C-alpha cells in the first residue's frame, strides 16, 4: 500500500455568466463559453474549471486580471478567485454565478459570494472533486490492476485447439482505508465535530464521497480521473464504472464497497472497482 492521499475528479460542463460587482455598484459580466473541464486542481484553463472561468473574467474585466488558486492548508480543494493587476482603482464587492454556473461548483456556499480585499474565497471543497481527507497527512491506498480477457477455445477432433480473443479490459481495484466519517457521508459532514476532524466547514456539501458519487450519477458522467497522489494531479488514470462498481450504487455501511473500519471514532474502508481506460 502507498502512503499517499488520492483525488478523484469528474468532467462537467462549464457554461454561464459570472457578474463582478464593485463597491461603487458598477458591474461587469463575463460570459463563460461552454466547455468540458475538471475541478482537477491543476489551475490550467485547458483542464481546470476555475482557471477557465478566471480567464473569462479577465477577458471581460478591463481594469484587472483574475486568477484561480487553492486556499492554503491541509484541507485541499478550496478555491480563491483573486483580482489583481488593478488599473481602475476599483474594489470587488461580490461575484454572482448564473445562467448555468453555480457557486457550489466552485466551493462557494452561495451563488453570490462576497469578496475581501479583492479575493473571493470558497468555504467548501469544489464540486465534482473528492479528496478523502485523513486526520493525518497520509493514509494507505492500495491500487491493483487486473487484466480480464474474454476467450473462446475451440478444439478439433484431431486434438488441436484454436484460441480466439474477443475482448480485454483492465480492471482497477482501489482500496482506501481508514477514511474519516465526514469524508464519506454527508450526515457526518453536517455535524461540527465530525467536520472539524478533517478540517472541513460544517455543512460542506462537496467534501464527502456520497455526494461525489451522487453528482456522478446526476450529471450522467461516464468516467472520472484518478490521481494516486493529490500533490501530483497531472498524473492520473481514467476510470469508468461497470457492473461490479458497487461504490456507484450505494456507500452506506451495508454496501459491499464499504467496511466500517472503526466505530470510535467512525472510520470507513472503501473499495472502488472500475475499468481503467
Residue at 200 is within a domain: no
Give the pLDDT of residue 222. Answer: 94
Beta bridge partners of 65: 84
| Paired strand residues for 142 | 175
Q: Are 20 and 95 in contact (CB under 8 A)?
A: yes
Q: Which of 2-6, 171-175, 211-215, 241-245 has the highest mean pLDDT?
A: 211-215
Confirm whether 46 is domain-assigned: yes
Confidence (pLDDT) at 151: 47
Residue 231, in any domain of the structure: no
Look-up of cell digits 480543494: 77
Whether 111 maps to a domain, the answer reads yes
pLDDT, tens only, 8-67 = 999 999 999 999 999 999 999 999 999 999 999 999 999 999 999 999 999 999 999 999
pLDDT at residue 97 in the model: 98
Instruction: Tell whether 36 is covered by a domain.
Output: yes
Residue 200, classified by CB atoms within 10 Å of its CB into exposed (0-12), middle (13-18) or buried (19+), is: buried
Report how many domains make up the chain: 1
Residue 249's φ and ψ, nearest 5 degrees, are -85, -35
Query: What pLDDT sits at residue 159?
Result: 66
Residue by residue, DSSP assigns the chain as -EE---EEE--EEEEEEEEEEETTS-EEEEEEEEEEEB--S---TTTBHHHHHHHHHHHH-TT-EEEEEEPSSSSTT-EEEEEES-SS---EEEEEEETT--TGGGT-SSSS-B-BTTEEE-SSPPTTEE----SSS--EEEEEEEEEEEEEEEE-TTS-EEEEEEEEEEEEEEEEEEEEGGGT-HHHHTSHHHHHHHTPPTT-SSSSHHHHHHHHHHTT---EEEESSTT-TTS-EEEE--TT-HHHH--STTSTTEEEEETTTTEEEEEEEEEE-
Cell of 200: 472541513
Structural domain boundaries enclosing 15: 7-129
Does 169 fall in a domain? Answer: no
**pLDDT one-digit tens code per residue, 127-185:** 999 999 876 655 677 777 766 655 456 666 766 766 555 566 788 888 988 899 999 99
C-alpha cell of residue 122: 470558497
Q: Is 178 left (phi over 0), alpha (psi -120 to 50) or beta?
A: left
124 domain-assigned: yes
**Any idea which residue has 467496511 for its cell?**
259
Query: Is residue 15 in a domain?
Result: yes
Amino acid at each position: 500500500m502507498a502512503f499517499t492521499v488520492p483525488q478523484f475528479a469528474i468532467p462537467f460542463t462549464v457554461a454561464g455568466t459570472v457578474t463582478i460587482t464593485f463597491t461603487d455598484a458598477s458591474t461587469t459580466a463575463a460570459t463563460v463559453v461552454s466547455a468540458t473541464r475538471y475541478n482537477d486542481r491543476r489551475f490550467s484553463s485547458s483542464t481546470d474549471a476555475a482557471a477557465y472561468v478566471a480567464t473569462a473574467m479577465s477577458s471581460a474585466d478591463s481594469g484587472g486580471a483574475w486568477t484561480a488558486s487553492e486556499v492554503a492548508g491541509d484541507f485541499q480543494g478550496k478555491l480563491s478567485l483573486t483580482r489583481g493587476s488593478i488599473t481602475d482603482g476599483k474594489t470587488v464587492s461580490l461575484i454572482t454565478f448564473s445562467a448555468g454556473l453555480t457557486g457550489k461548483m466552485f466551493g462557494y456556499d452561495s451563488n453570490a459570494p462576497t469578496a475581501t480585499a479583492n479575493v473571493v474565497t470558497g468555504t467548501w471543497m469544489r464540486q465534482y472533486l473528492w479528496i478523502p481527507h485523513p486526520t493525518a497527512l497520509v493514509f494507505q491506498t492500495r491500487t491493483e490492476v487486473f487484466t480480464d480477457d474474454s476467450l473462446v477455445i475451440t478444439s478439433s477432433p484431431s486434438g488441436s485447439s484454436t484460441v480466439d480473443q474477443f475482448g480485454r479490459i483492465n480492471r482497477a481495484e482501489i482500496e482506501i482505508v481508514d477514511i474519516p466519517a465526514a469524508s464519506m457521508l454527508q450526515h457526518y459532514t453536517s455535524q461540527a465535530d465530525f467536520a472539524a476532524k478533517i478540517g472541513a466547514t460544517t455543512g460542506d456539501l462537496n467534501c464527502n464521497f456520497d455526494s461525489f458519487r451522487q453528482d456522478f450519477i446526476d450529471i450522467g458522467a461516464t468516467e472520472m480521473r484518478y490521481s494516486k497522489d493529490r500533490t501530483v494531479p497531472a498524473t492520473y488514470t481514467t476510470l469508468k464504472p461497470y457492473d461490479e462498481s458497487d461504490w456507484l450504487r450505494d456507500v452506506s455501511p451495508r454496501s459491499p464497497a464499504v467496511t466500517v473500519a472503526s466505530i470510535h471514532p467512525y472510520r470507513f474502508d472503501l473499495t472502488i472497482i472500475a475499468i481503467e481506460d
